[in-house]
Amino acid sequence: MTTADIAIIGAGIAGASLAAAIGNAASVVLIEAESQPGYHSTGRSAAFWSETYGGPAIQPLTTASQAFLSEGGFLKPRGSLAIAKEEDEALLDAFLEEFAGTGVVLE
């Protein structure tokens, strides 16, 4: 059995960074579901910041990161486009509805 002061769920960029920031201040265990830490930590996920990332449950955290990332020079203005077949238009409508009232600007 492993004992620790703090358990961090997820050993991706955020979890590993948090563990490193804690350093020797506490004993930390990283709990990861994938076969290795950082499994999904690719440029694919770090190269594009989207305010809708994570859906409505996570989106407030994503929005909160914008000022820090912008001030640090990590973000440049970009747009994104969601494309769907005509028969999938309801999925686009559901996506827009999911973020209605959150302050996220979607057109």
Q: What is the pLDDT of residues 7-38, one digit of tens each?
A: 999 998 889 999 999 999 999 999 999 888 88
Alpha helices (H) along 1-107:
13-22, 43-46, 55-71, 89-98
1 pLDDT higher than 70: yes
Between the ranges 2-11, 36-45, 69-78, where is the mean pLDDT highest? 2-11
66 pLDDT higher than 80: yes
Instruction: Determine the Cα–Cα distance for residues 8 and 76; give it in Å rounded to an integer.
Output: 30
43 pLDDT higher than 70: no
**Half-sphere exposure at residue 104, Cβ-oriented, CA atoms within 13 angstroms:** 23
Question: Would you list the domain boundaries of the chain?
Answer: 1-47, 49-101
